[in-house]
Structure 1
Amino acid sequence: MFDHVVFGVSDYAASKAFFLKALEPLGIEVVHERPDGIELSSDGKVSLCLLQTEEKPAHLHLAFVAESRQQVEAFHRAALAAGGKDHGAPGLRPHYHANYYAAFVIDPDGHNIEVVCHRPEA
């Protein structure tokens, strides 16, 4: 839905490590890196950019699409292993719709990171 999203992080090294490990199950990898920032993508087009900043950014909610419920679960495990804090274990959220299967974690800067699969269970 978007071309790219850029947001500031207070500890670039910690955020880089967190996002690389947490989003690895989704096939997201480094597209470009410079000393104070990184661009991540799974398709080489749409990207997520993290930049070191001293500003206090408002909390952000980022939701990534998963192709399967297993990817949602793998993201949750990887994100917790990378130092994320649980903010909603993998599971159905039927108040959104019948097949909304998602997991939520809080990243090193307090941002709410979600991975969601909209498909029925295989």
Structure 2
Amino acid sequence: MLDHVGLNVTDLERAQAFYDAALAPLGLSVLRTVTTPDVSLRGYGEGMKPFFWLHQGGESTLGAHVAFAAPDRATVDAFHAAALAAGGRDNGAPGLRPHYHPNYYGAFVRDPDGHNVEAVCHSAP
């Protein structure tokens, strides 16, 4: 089981603006901010526990893929629309991906650093 995941980004403020908008439909927001002379972090989650971290300080992570669970297909659609409106690039419109399984409904966007970010619902409508 995963506890958390982090992405290195080239511009934390730009990345935060994107993820604030893209993750809002999923109910996720910044829960923790850490700033030291060497590193800046933003931790997203819900409740009290951040589990998705943005990190500026060092080289950008390349080619990462992160998938966020969505409670229903409408939330996947809302994530995709919000991410595109926030400057993301389409990497797969909302829809079924039956090659994964019959009810796999996902949407993919590229964030400002080129990471592949997905929202997915595994339930039937």
Global fold match (TM > 0.5): yes
User: Which residue of the partner structure matches residue 18 of structure 2?
Assistant: 18
Amino acid at match of 1:110: G
Cα distance, 1:114 vs structure 2: 0.5
The superposition leaves residues 9-66 of structure 1 with CA deviations (integer Å, 9 ceiling, x where unpaired) of 0011110000110000000011111342200002433510101134142210000000
Counterpart secondary structure, 1:88:
strand
- Tell me how far apart the structure 2 counterparts of residues 88 and 42 of structure 1 sit (CA, whole Å): 26
**Given the alignment, which residue of 29, 46, 59 partners 1:42?**
46
- Quote the residue 2:80 is aligned against: 76
Which residues of structure 1 form unaligned runs of 5+?
none
> Match for residue 106 of structure 1?
110
Letter aligned with residue 113 of structure 1: V
Q: Which runs of 4+ in 1 moved over 3 A?
A: none
Bigger CA drift: 68-77 or 2-11?
2-11
CA contact (8 A) 2:62 2:114 kept: no
Cα pair 1:6 1:50 within 8 Å, conserved: yes
Following superposition, the deviation at residue 2 of structure 1 comes to: 1.6
Instruction: Tell me if 1:91 matches 2:86.
Output: no
Percentage of identical aligned residues: 50
Q: Give SS of 1:49's match.
A: strand
Kept in 2, the 8 Å contact 1:65–1:117? The answer is: yes
Match for 2:83: what amino acid? A
Q: TM-score, normalised by structure 1?
A: 0.94
Aligned residues: 121
* Paired AA for residue 111 in structure 2: D
What TM-score, normalized to structure 2?
0.91
Residue equivalent to 2:8: 8
The 3-state SS of whatever aligns with 2:22 is: helix
